[in-house]
Amino acid sequence: MTGPGSDEQIRDWVRGLGLPGLIDIHVHFMPERVLAKVWAYFDAASEHYGVAWPVRYRFDEPTRLAVLRGFGVIGFAPLLYPHKPAMAEWLNDWAAEFAEREPDAVPTATFYPEPGADAYLARALERGVRCLKAHVQVGDYDPADPLLDKVWGLIAESGVPVVIHCGHGPLPGRHTGLDVFETVLRRHPRLTAVLAHAGTPDYLAALELLRRYPRVHLDTTMVGVAFTERNAPLPADWTARLAEFGDRVALGTDYPNIPYEYSEQLRAIAGWAQDLGPEFLRAVLHDTPARLLGR
C-alpha cells in the first residue's frame, strides 16, 4: 500500500482512502517565545544528539496552520509542556485561547509535579480539555512523583487521553523508561495513555504495556522514518506484533518540528498497512485519533 510521494500529494491520497481527512494527535503549537526556544534547541541538535535536526516547517503561526490544513488535517491536538514549576498553568491558558480561535484544534493542557497541580488540572478538565501532554524527559521529573498522584487519578477518571513522552528516545533522561511509567499505570490502570513515539526505542516494551493495560495506546510520531531508523530501528517483525493492536495506534507527527516532510510519516504507516490492511490504515489516520480526541 503506497503512501503519498510528497506533501503535495497528501490530500488526494487521503481522499483516495475514503477518509474525510487526517486527525493528528501529536503536533506542537506554543506561545512564540516558547517555540523559539524549542527551535533554538533543535538548531543545536548536533551538539545535543550528534545529528543535525533542521526544523522542516519553520514558519509563522498562520502559515504553519495553513500548511497543516493543506495536508488535509481536519483535527489536531496542539501539545505543550513545561520544563519548570509555575509554567504549566499559563501554558494551559494559552492553549485554551488557541483552541477557541482555531476550531480544528482540540483544547489541550499539561501539568508539572508542583503544589496545586491537581487544582489547575481539575479546572482544565472542567472547561473541556480533550487531550493532555506529559513530557518526562524535558520536564526532568519522575512521573510517579507523589505530587502527581491526584493528577493521574483525575485523568484516569476523566477518560481524557494523555500523550506521554516517557521513553528513552532520543536521549535517556533521569526518569525516562517505560518501566518507570508503568509504576503510574499500576496505580491507575484505567488511565487512557498514548505512548508518544511508540516508546522509542523500546518498541516491544511499549507493546507489552498495551497488552497489560487495555486503555494504553501508541502514537506514530517519528516512528519508522529514515531519521529515526538510523539509531532506533523498528524490530523486523514490527507489523506482525502490531496486528493485535490495530485500533490502539494513532497518527502523530511532531509537526512542525520534524526534520523531514510530513508525507514521510504517512509513507511509513502505509508501509505497515501493506501487511495490516486498509482498515488498519484508516484507523490510524482517522478513526482512532478521532475517538481519542472526541472528534
229 found inside a domain:
yes
- What is the Cα–Cα distance from 287 to 20, expressed in whole angstroms? 10
Task: Supply 249's cell numbers.
Answer: 495506534
The pLDDT assigned to 245 comes to 98
Confidence at 1, pLDDT banded by 50, 70, 90: low
118 found inside a domain:
yes
120 found inside a domain:
yes
Residues 6 or more apart whose Cβ sits within 8 Å of residue 195: 164, 166, 167, 178, 206, 209, 216, 217, 218, 219
Across 45-49, 179-183, 244-248, least confident range: 45-49
38 found inside a domain:
yes
CA dihedral 245, 174, 149, 26 (to 10 degrees): -40
Question: pTM (2 decimals)?
Answer: 0.97
2 found inside a domain:
no
**How do 73-78 and 249-250 pair as beta strands?**
unpaired
Residue 79 Ramachandran class (φ > 0 left, ψ -120 to 50 alpha, else beta): beta
Into how many domains does the chain fold?
1
147 found inside a domain:
yes
Q: Is the per-residue pLDDT at 2 higher than 90?
A: no
Measure the CA angle with vertex 46, ends 42 and 49; round to 5°.
80
Q: What are phi and psi of 115, to 5 degrees?
A: -55, 135
Q: Is the per-residue pLDDT at 112 higher than 90?
A: yes
In what helix (H) or strand (E) does residue 131 lie, and over which residues does it extend?
A: strand 131-135
Domain that holds residue 30: 7-293
Q: Could you read off the pLDDT of 124-145 as tens digits, one per residue?
A: 999 999 999 999 999 999 999 9
Q: Could you read off the pLDDT of 57-102 as tens digits, one per residue?
A: 999 999 999 999 999 999 999 999 999 999 999 999 999 999 999 9
1 found inside a domain:
no
66 found inside a domain:
yes
The pLDDT assigned to 212 comes to 98
Residue 22 one-letter amino acid: L
CATH of the domain at 193: 3.20.20.140
